[in-house]
Amino acid sequence: MTHAVRRRLALSGAALAVLVLALGADWRSPPPGEGPETIPVRTLDGHGYVGANDLARILDATKFWRADVRRLVLRAGNHTLIFTVDNPFVVVDESTFWLEAPVRSRNGEIQIPVALVDSLPADSSLARITFDPRRGHVVVLPATGSVGSPRVSVDGERTRVTFPATSAEAAVIVTRARDHFRLRFGGVFVGTLPDSFPPGALVRSLRPLGSAGGSAFELSVDAAAIGYRLNRDVDGRRVTLELSRVFERELESFAPQDPPGARRLRLIVIDPGHGGADDGVVAGQVAEKDLTLALARRLKVQIERRRIRVVLTRDSDYDVPANARAELANRLDADLVIGLHFDGYVNPRARGATAYCPPATFEPPSGENGTERASSRLVLLPWRDVAVRHAVQSRSLAEAMLSSLELRGLGPTRLREQLPYDLLGVDAPGILLECATLTSSADRERVTQEAGLEQLATAIAEGVAAYQRND
């Protein structure tokens, strides 16, 4: 091995070591279900090997195979890797490396000595990988980076939650509701969560969320916090969420919340989904549009018993355009809007209820060149998205509704934070509720019977009552 080759190998190894230290991450102990992708390493004749298919996949490489000379070429970004079967020499771009063990062919797949990972270029066009000999696998640190163990500290009136993050600029606030404040990062979570918080911390809980495109965390923020600020330190590779008990300039506010105590409900708009030429889901001779109307009529009776006025967007079989629904709800100054639907899925085993509510998104105003004007307090919201203003109340309604359904055994239930079509332009708290799944024979049999539909109406009315009590 030449001096130049040795030097390059040493530098690559050092770069990886520095990378792991800089992350401050215990990537060897990711929590269950989280953590970086790994590929297995198998031992052949005392040497570790990775499969060429696994390697190509994690490097996002294109494979070219020449059977006559038994040569495999991987092209990833601007890089080219060349392997020849039974040859310990590999070509990486313009350099040739000796790997102590030859490239092998086993069961139709090329096996590459794991020592190669130390010779790969460390630049942004290639996924960063490293060999973990203790666990016997190769760990992939994706190009989008990683997020290390969050640390919570208290400094006077401020609480700081600091996340080591290689792509700090990619951190965004997804939901700014105090009870489920959500942060999303570009990189994968490779750390551990704190066992406890220091005394006086404004964070009540912190947990990771599943996120296919990176990682996300949900915090529950103490009621004493009056605002937050997110600092993205790109050079320092960390993101800090500051929570404060006292007013400071440039603090952002949490999503508005109702005061504790019973909510005032005067009028509810109920929208029986579909209608007219739009049947909705059709399963077992049952059309969704007929069931939603039948349920809406029963629900109207049940809710009005509680001295709350109910207006239906339709009372017979016709389609109601989205803008007409919104116009009706806004003109009546509705306190709640509930869209009733019945679900359908390709797999008849899927069953249960789902609620959709607007996300508590926050989009700070941007300057002409895309820079944020953090000091500005003015946020422009398209009227189409006006329901987002009521995201916190809408989520409370969804949770109360799903809880009521679960209590009566009408689950399983799911909650999805996506602005539903029914709520476009609606300036009121609201949800789209899939009350059951028509393509499930068990659900369909239940809701097509008088007793089943009445039970469903009772559960929804109880959900409204729980939302009103706000307990």
Partner 1 sequence: MKRPILGAFLIAVLAWLVWQTWQIRPTRPRAAAPADSAAVGVRAVTLYFGAADGDSLVSEDRELIESANLHERVAALVSELDQGPRGRGVAVLPAGTSVLHVYLDDRGLMTLDLSGAFRQRFRGGSTAEYLALASLVRTVAADLPEVKQIRIVSAGRPLGTLGGHLPLDRPLDASEWP
Q: Which of residues 333-352 bind partner 1 (CB under 8 A)?
A: 341-347, 349-350
**1 vs 378 by CB, closer to partner 1:** 1
Q: Which of residues 108-127 bind partner 1 (CB under 8 A)?
A: none
21 lies in the site for partner 1, by CB under 8 A: no
Shortest Å, Cβ 4 to partner 1: 6
Shortest Å, Cβ 158 to partner 1: 28
Strands 336-343 and 430-437: parallel
Q: Which of residues 43-102 bind partner 1 (CB under 8 A)?
A: 53, 56-57, 60-66, 71, 73, 75, 78-80, 82, 89, 91, 93-96, 98
**79 vs 232 by CB, closer to partner 1:** 79
455 lies in the site for partner 1, by CB under 8 A: no
Number of residues that bind partner 1 (CB under 8 A): 71
Shortest Å, Cβ 471 to partner 1: 29
**126 vs 201 by CB, closer to partner 1:** 126
**212 vs 380 by CB, closer to partner 1:** 212
**186 vs 191 by CB, closer to partner 1:** 186
Shortest Å, Cβ 42 to partner 1: 18
Q: Which of residues 232-271 bind partner 1 (CB under 8 A)?
A: none
Total residues found in the chain within this entry:
471
Shortest Å, Cβ 64 to partner 1: 4
Nearest-angstrom CA–CA distance, 432 and 3: 67
1 lies in the site for partner 1, by CB under 8 A: yes
Q: Which of residues 146-185 bind partner 1 (CB under 8 A)?
A: 172, 174, 184
**121 vs 244 by CB, closer to partner 1:** 121
**318 vs 345 by CB, closer to partner 1:** 345
Shortest Å, Cβ 149 to partner 1: 22
Q: Residues 13, 414, 415, 455: which binds partner 1 (CB under 8 A)?
A: 414
Stretch that binds partner 1, among 1-9, 160-168, 255-263, 445-453 (CB under 8 A): 1-9
Instruction: Calculate the alpha carbon distances from 191 to 35, 143, 144, 213, 429 in Å.
Output: 8, 17, 16, 17, 37
Shortest Å, Cβ 123 to partner 1: 14
Q: Residues 434, 443, 457, 467: which binds partner 1 (CB under 8 A)?
A: 434
Shortest Å, Cβ 412 to partner 1: 8
H/E stretch holding 15 reads helix 3-23
Q: Which of residues 267-326 bind partner 1 (CB under 8 A)?
A: 273-274, 278, 280-281, 288, 322
**81 vs 201 by CB, closer to partner 1:** 81
User: Binding string, 197-226, against partner 1, x = CB under 8 A?
Assistant: ------------xxxxx--x----------
383 lies in the site for partner 1, by CB under 8 A: no
Instruction: Calculate the alpha carbon distances from 221 to 158, 226, 254, 255, 319 in Å.
Output: 12, 10, 10, 12, 43
19 lies in the site for partner 1, by CB under 8 A: no
Helix (H), strand (E), coil (C) string for the chain: CCHHHHHHHHHHHHHHHHHHHHHCCCCCCCCCCCCCCEEECEEECCEEEEEHHHHHHHCCCEEEEECCCCEEEEEECCEEEEEECCCCEEEECCEEEECCCCCEEECCEEEEEHHHHHHCCCCCCCCEEEEECCCCEEEEECCCCEECCCEEEEECCEEEEEEEECCHHHCEEEECCCCCEEEEECCEECCCCCCCCCCCCCEEEEEEECCCCCEEEEEEECCCCCEEEEEEECCCCEEEEEEECCCCCCCECCCCCCCCCCCCCCEEEEEECCECCECCCEECCEEHHHHHHHHHHHHHHHHHCCCCEEEECCCCCCCCCHHHHHHHHHHCCCCEEEEEEEECCCCCCCCCEEEEECCCCCCCCECCCCCECCCCCCCCCCHHHHHHHHHHHHHHHHHHHHHHHHHCCCCCEEEEECCCHHHCCCCCCEEEEEEEECCCHHHHHHHCCHHHHHHHHHHHHHHHHHHHHCC
**93 vs 445 by CB, closer to partner 1:** 93
Q: Residues 354, 394, 396, 404: which binds partner 1 (CB under 8 A)?
A: 354
